[in-house]
């Protein structure tokens, strides 16, 4: 019975995303169910349904207009108008200096380790592990400082932190799904990146205005929801990835709005609407990029999304 329940939950009711994330995803990770979903029209219907729900959330509603900030928080103006915001000197100097040294030592230790040096791979993307007591104070302070930026969307949901390093040993890069233009979700979804060491290699890139849920957005959302553009990768839960030979064709207008976040200073925070087009630009020279990926959809599920819509209805 447990096996049947998990099968229904993971493949029929909802596609489990990484780390038990239960926020609506683009596709089912089972190709058979995704094909049936597309053939029956359910794939289109579920996107319409979840956007109907998300639009009831006061803050998310701003992504369905012309980029007008509905929250009253001026710090969020650019998030709504162009799709992302940047804040420098995010942590206090004392906290920043303490943890900058911890992060730099962790990165240096990895880059000088046998695991890295003896690997045959020329490009590497991994998570660096920290003991909970090493980063608890840091994560608590980051959560506190991010709260004014995200509470309108996610309430008091506590985020999860991933400490990620990308490295190229020879200046080359492979065309992974992360280095291609893509969207994360078929409805509003925010993500935070924090750069404690700064970044000037393989910069994160975003297409301004692509976050607005309009006719143009529906076009590339449909592209990323089509099973013909995916292939199976490995045996993990996240088994379907963009096929190696597939990339979203960009119009001239989209190309003109590409922003590459080059030369970010240490202690810089990025908050982006990741229903918009973004990517990790491929490496063009030897180097590494270390950043924190901070996500709220681990704790904020589709049920929380429905609840936020119902609470808004009850107040109106």
The model's pTM: 0.90
More confident: 205 or 20 = 205
2-315 folds as Jelly Rolls (2.60.120)
Q: Give yes or no for residue 233 having a pLDDT over 90.
A: no
Cβ proximity of 259 and 206 under 8 Å: yes
Cβ proximity of 16 and 30 under 8 Å: no
Q: Give yes or no for residue 34 having a pLDDT over 90.
A: no
More confident: 133 or 63 = 63
Give me the percent of the chain exceeding a pLDDT of 90. Answer: 63
Strands 268-273 and 84-87, bridge-based pairing: antiparallel
Q: Give yes or no for residue 237 having a pLDDT over 80.
A: no
Q: What is the pLDDT confidence band of residue 314, given thresholds at 50, 70 and 90?
A: very low
Q: Give yes or no for residue 303 having a pLDDT over 50.
A: yes
More confident: 90 or 122 = 90
Cβ proximity of 47 and 225 under 8 Å: yes
Cβ proximity of 229 and 223 under 8 Å: yes
Q: Give yes or no for residue 277 having a pLDDT over 50.
A: yes
Q: Give yes or no for residue 207 having a pLDDT over 70.
A: yes
Name residues whose C-beta falls within 8 Å of residue 316's C-beta, 6 or more positions apart in sequence.
Answer: none
* Total residues found in the chain within this entry: 316
Of the listed ranges 112-116, 126-130, 242-246, the one predicted with least confidence: 242-246
Mean pLDDT, the chain, rounded, equals 87
Distance CA 4, CA 270 (A): 41
Residue/partner pairs of 58-63 with CB below 8 Å, 24 or more apart:
58/152, 58/312, 59/152, 59/153, 60/153, 60/187, 60/188, 63/188, 63/211, 63/212, 63/213, 63/273, 63/275
Q: Give yes or no for residue 17 having a pLDDT over 50.
A: no
Q: Domain ranges for the chain, please list them.
A: 2-315
Compute the radius of gyration of the chain from its Cα atoms: 20
Helices (H), 68-209: 77-81, 93-111, 114-117, 132-154
Please report, in angstroms and rounded to a whole number, the separation of the first and last CA atoms in the chain: 42
Structure letter (DSSP) for residue 11:
I
Of the listed ranges 34-48, 95-109, 231-245, the one predicted with least confidence: 231-245
């Amino acid at each position: 019975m447990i096996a049947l329940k998990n099968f229904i939950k993971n493949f029929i009711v909802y596609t489990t995303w990484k780390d038990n994330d239960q926020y609506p995803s683009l596709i089912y990770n089972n190709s058979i169910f995704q094909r049936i979903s597309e053939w029956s029209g359910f794939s289109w219907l579920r996107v319409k349904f979840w956007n109907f729900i998300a639009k009831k959330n006061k803050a998310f509603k701003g992504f369905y207009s012309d980029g007008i900030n509905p929250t009253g928080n001026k710090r969020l103006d650019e998030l709504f108008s162009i799709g992302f915001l940047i804040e420098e000197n995010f942590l206090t100097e004392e906290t920043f200096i303490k943890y900058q040294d911890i992060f730099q030592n962790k990165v240096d230790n990895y880059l000088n380790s046998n695991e890295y040096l003896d690997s045959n791979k020329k490009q590497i993307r991994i998570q660096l592990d920290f003991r909970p007591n090493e980063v608890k104070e840091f994560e608590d302070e980051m959560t506190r400082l991010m709260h004014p930026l995200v509470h309108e969307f996610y309430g008091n949901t506590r985020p999860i932190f991933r400490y990620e390093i990308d490295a190229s040993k020879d200046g080359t890069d492979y065309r992974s799904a992360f280095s291609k233009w893509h969207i994360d979700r078929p409805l509003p979804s925010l993500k935070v990146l924090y750069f404690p060491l700064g970044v000037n290699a393989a910069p994160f890139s975003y297409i301004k205005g692509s976050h607005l849920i309009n006719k143009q957005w529906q076009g590339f959302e449909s592209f990323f929801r089509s099973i013909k553009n995916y292939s199976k990768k490995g045996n993990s839960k996240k088994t379907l990835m963009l096929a190696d030979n597939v990339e979203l064709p960009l119009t001239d207008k989209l190309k003109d709005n590409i922003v590459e976040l080059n030369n970010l200073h240490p202690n810089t925070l990025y908050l982006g609407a990741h229903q918009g087009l973004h990517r990790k630009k491929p490496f063009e020279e030897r180097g590494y990029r270390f950043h924190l990926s901070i996500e709220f959809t681990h704790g904020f599920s589709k049920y929380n999304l429905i609840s936020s819509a119902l609470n808004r209805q009850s107040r109106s």
